[in-house]
Structure 1
């Protein structure tokens, strides 16, 4: 089955962002990848008149919380609480327009447990005795964020369970030269334990068919990873772990064990999508929006380092439920975003938070630069010099000159605000703009980089057109001015998913009504208006508020 052409696909859209681990705040490396990409996509879909549910929620069960809490000398519950506040603050400050940020509450946990109880009752899991790393000093097994070593596939340094570099699993005792992440001097031994697993090999045929259907529409690195993993025997997926932190596993065969935290994320998405729908005025049961009869399309944004879980293990778990739930159609991954060509590192204090950036400049230039440099296909870097240069020379100064030229012409017009004629050429230019932006905003070509670059290209083009009219009154060349103002109005609408505060100011100035369709700009005349200006000066209000949709 080929996906419908995006222009013809008006099904409701469920946009999923990754579930942030509440073991600290958010830096720009987090935002520049899946959160900004998901936000811009959701905003564009809303502007096209489609029903959208955009959601996520924190992933409190992760062992990374335990490791970070012990290093900080606080309890994991306290770290989750304070980190969730910082995460929500950062997402709001940069303007990520989640319809609902689901809390880690009793309903969340019940949704996850019900999801796995159904699979257990259907006999999908197997008991298996495995060898796992064990710290004799503490009497604890260590997995995931509690252990570090070398990846058995690519030899990169990685944590347990999954390598962030090659994205291959390393379950059980496969890490080379392992040690504790809490105290690197602690070297584990290996001890047998019995857990529940999902035999992934049983889903090879379905997984292969699913990826063959969709892989030609996904980014190459994800496709290569999936093919590489499928070329080898698929590892059994741990369903439970003998740990103290996490959601208690409700299975009689594994008393005292917890669910593998990585596997919560799809039922968590079912819960948070229901939570978000309620914020939009529709009450649903958790998982209801994932039923085929809802006719939704799922678009999932995530970092490549998590792609194995979402593209393979979570798909296998959905397949284990039979045809009960739909599956993501579009999975967009991103690579790592670096700070001045070096990996973000909280421990080395090589980090820049959203809040710190917004103390330096407004969020519109920040969002545009992050979109322009987002790591879509390879690692990219945040550069303060690059941010300053792009923001000043390619965005703010040329836009403000364009706005000033139009503002001066409108101010010098006689009488009431004029309504100007638009030529066929002007309407054709707008139609071309709409088509080009739609190509970049829609699947399968969706690209933050190209959206941002197209905004800057159009600002430059319209600025040159304005220069030719500078000094000429609206009465002298009304059609030329009408063509320019219609194109500026279209650009404001088309850049609104990224330049959210400029778009809100333009709405208030009468520049456009937020509707994005060819019919909205296929007009014979346009009312003159003065475009709002952009600034490079940070404001507390701009950093703390979210622009209207």
Structure 2
């Protein structure tokens, strides 16, 4: 059996994950991985922290700590947040000597194959500190859309801005440090040399990407493709081993492909295999990325070129599932303004299934969406929890005195089959949508609740259709699903609807009283403002771009 490798954007270890991050690639990848497992697929869901990023350096400077200490603290916090949300990964692998050796072997193979070119480039330079500025170390104006932007890629339009392309550059480490330009020799990978293969690849992806992301790919292909930095003059990261660029580091973004090969290997658990084994083309693995719009250039184009540069050695992704931005009270999440909600803080107040459901229902799949406390209350406690528990009550009454298995009518089997197909349509690529899956849960829940309350459905049909609803909701509602499995309920999504089904009791969701207590606690806080922040609120987290 071939394996599906699900990769979530690698989080930069310069802070924790807020719910804007979680509503993007991490929950979406988890729901997809759980669905595949329920259909009998072999799945490795993985990511690892992106320790070499320049944002680690700039954040550490602002917080008065070291990059190494910040990485350690942030990695622990990110791991706790993923675990608290129930993200079904093996964990976060250590960024250790094995990781660094994997990265170096990946890039050295390309160097020895003659894939890199030496170039003289013009880089922004902070005059007083004597620091070359790139990515998170520099801010300015995007030359394409004229929005404010960091170096490397514009968060607003998604276009790259390498070297001296960023307009009005200033140092993020010290805005008063005058910026000049210096010519510097680095190694690059010319993307233009891979245009034909890229064009053929994207022709095969037609209809499989969300429209906004594919529009950006088209815009990038309509222009001369950039030369990707391979080395950069910096003080933090993985030292470049090439004689042409002594003292330079590997450009942080080129670590992505060997990083996820390493994290796949680590997550799979068999360390006797070569680190890149699971990604070798001969195994036929299906690779699916989950990332944000501002990472389309990196995950969709640049990282693909680094795979193609290895010839036919590695698989290429079969799909990129790209999300937009998730807002809070109509504005971007912002750590600097304390305009955010940390994942662990929200989960300390609200039961996990209700949080997962609301984020799934409002995730920014095709356009920017937003979070509010009232929305969570309406979706989680009222629309989902109240109806769910009403169905549980009605089901208990309808099945009182019954045990063992009960027969299912042909009509009940047809309805269960139709429900299953609806859920499959939500979870399968290319139409994957947590939004529609969550809405399907609400639709079928209301239907079954009303039928059960009116005694308008046969007992066996009610049991089968409720079990089908629970199975379809299980990738999102993980705790109620686990409670059902612990009582012997089969929630696989592979079998055809049976002619008889075992009686079971539908596990209940938390009541609104739990939320009323939280309301009382912070009654003085306006409803759409962030929840109280943890002590780590000062740790900077940018948007999904910083997670790849």
Scaled by the length of structure 1, the TM-score of the pair is: 0.92
Residue 81 (structure 1) aligned with residue 58 (structure 2): no
Alignment-derived partner of residue 500 in structure 2: 525
Counterpart selection for 2:478 from 476, 479, 500: 500
User: Do the aligned partners of 2:127 and 2:177 also contact (CA within 8 Å) in 1?
Assistant: no
Describe the superposition over 1:93-112 as per-residue Cα deviations: whole angstroms up to 9, x where unpaired.
01100134222111111001
Alignment-derived partner of residue 290 in structure 2: 301
SS of aligned partner of 1:438: helix
Alignment-derived partner of residue 131 in structure 2: 140
Alignment-derived partner of residue 17 in structure 2: 26
Alignment-derived partner of residue 530 in structure 2: none
How far the C-alpha of 1:122 sits from its partner, in A, is: 0.7
SS of aligned partner of 1:359: helix
Counterpart selection for 1:63 from 54, 61, 64: 54
Residue 457 (structure 1) aligned with residue 457 (structure 2): no
How far the C-alpha of 1:215 sits from its partner, in A, is: 2.9
Describe the superposition over 1:253-308 as per-residue Cα deviations: whole angstroms up to 9, x where unpaired.
00000001011011101101011111xx5742111111122111101111111110
Q: Distance in 1 between matches of 2:216 and 2:76?
A: 34
Residue 268 (structure 1) aligned with residue 259 (structure 2): yes
Residue 422 (structure 1) aligned with residue 397 (structure 2): no
SS of aligned partner of 2:118: strand
Alignment-derived partner of residue 125 in structure 1: 116
User: Do the aligned partners of 1:100 and 1:272 also contact (CA within 8 Å) in 2?
Assistant: no
User: Do the aligned partners of 1:146 and 1:181 also contact (CA within 8 Å) in 2?
Assistant: yes
Q: Distance in 2 between matches of 1:15 and 1:133?
A: 37
Residue 516 (structure 1) aligned with residue 493 (structure 2): yes
Residue 432 (structure 1) aligned with residue 423 (structure 2): no
1:245-324 mapped onto 2 (5 Å cutoff): 245-278=236-269, 283-324=272-313
Q: Distance in 2 between matches of 1:247 and 1:457?
A: 51
Q: Distance in 1 between matches of 2:405 and 2:38?
A: 25
1:537-548 mapped onto 2 (5 Å cutoff): 537=514
Alignment-derived partner of residue 521 in structure 2: none
Counterpart selection for 2:345 from 347, 352, 356: 356
Residue 466 (structure 1) aligned with residue 456 (structure 2): no
Q: Distance in 2 between matches of 1:43 and 1:418?
A: 29
Counterpart selection for 1:448 from 412, 434, 455: 434
Q: Distance in 2 between matches of 1:119 and 1:271?
A: 17
SS of aligned partner of 1:58: coil
Scaled by the length of structure 2, the TM-score of the pair is: 0.92
How far the C-alpha of 1:151 sits from its partner, in A, is: 0.3
Residues 1:51 and 1:283: Cα distance change in structure 2 (over 3 Å): farther
How far the C-alpha of 1:331 sits from its partner, in A, is: 0.6
Residue 95 (structure 1) aligned with residue 94 (structure 2): no
Q: Distance in 2 between matches of 1:268 and 1:174?
A: 28
Give structure 1 stretches of 5+ with no counterpart. 1-9, 471-478, 540-549
User: Do the aligned partners of 1:90 and 1:354 also contact (CA within 8 Å) in 2?
Assistant: yes
Counterpart selection for 2:211 from 220, 240, 243: 220
Q: Distance in 1 between matches of 2:230 and 2:113?
A: 15
How far the C-alpha of 1:34 sits from its partner, in A, is: 0.5
Describe the superposition over 1:307-353 as per-residue Cα deviations: whole angstroms up to 9, x where unpaired.
10111111111111111111001111101111111100001000101
Equivalenced residue count is 514
SS of aligned partner of 1:102: coil
Q: Distance in 1 between matches of 2:490 and 2:311?
A: 44
Q: RMSD value over aligned CA atoms?
A: 1.4
Q: Distance in 2 between matches of 1:210 and 1:525?
A: 47
SS of aligned partner of 2:207: helix
SS of aligned partner of 2:187: strand
Q: Distance in 2 between matches of 1:252 and 1:19?
A: 29
User: Do the aligned partners of 1:196 and 1:254 also contact (CA within 8 Å) in 2?
Assistant: yes
Counterpart selection for 1:14 from 5, 13, 16: 5
SS of aligned partner of 2:206: helix
Alignment-derived partner of residue 542 in structure 2: none
Counterpart selection for 1:382 from 371, 374, 390: 371
How far the C-alpha of 1:418 sits from its partner, in A, is: 4.5
SS of aligned partner of 2:156: coil
How far the C-alpha of 1:488 sits from its partner, in A, is: 0.5
Counterpart selection for 1:162 from 139, 153, 158: 153
How far the C-alpha of 1:129 sits from its partner, in A, is: 0.6
SS of aligned partner of 1:148: strand
Alignment-derived partner of residue 195 in structure 1: 186
Describe the superposition over 1:183-236 as per-residue Cα deviations: whole angstroms up to 9, x where unpaired.
222231001110001111111111111111113211111111111011111111
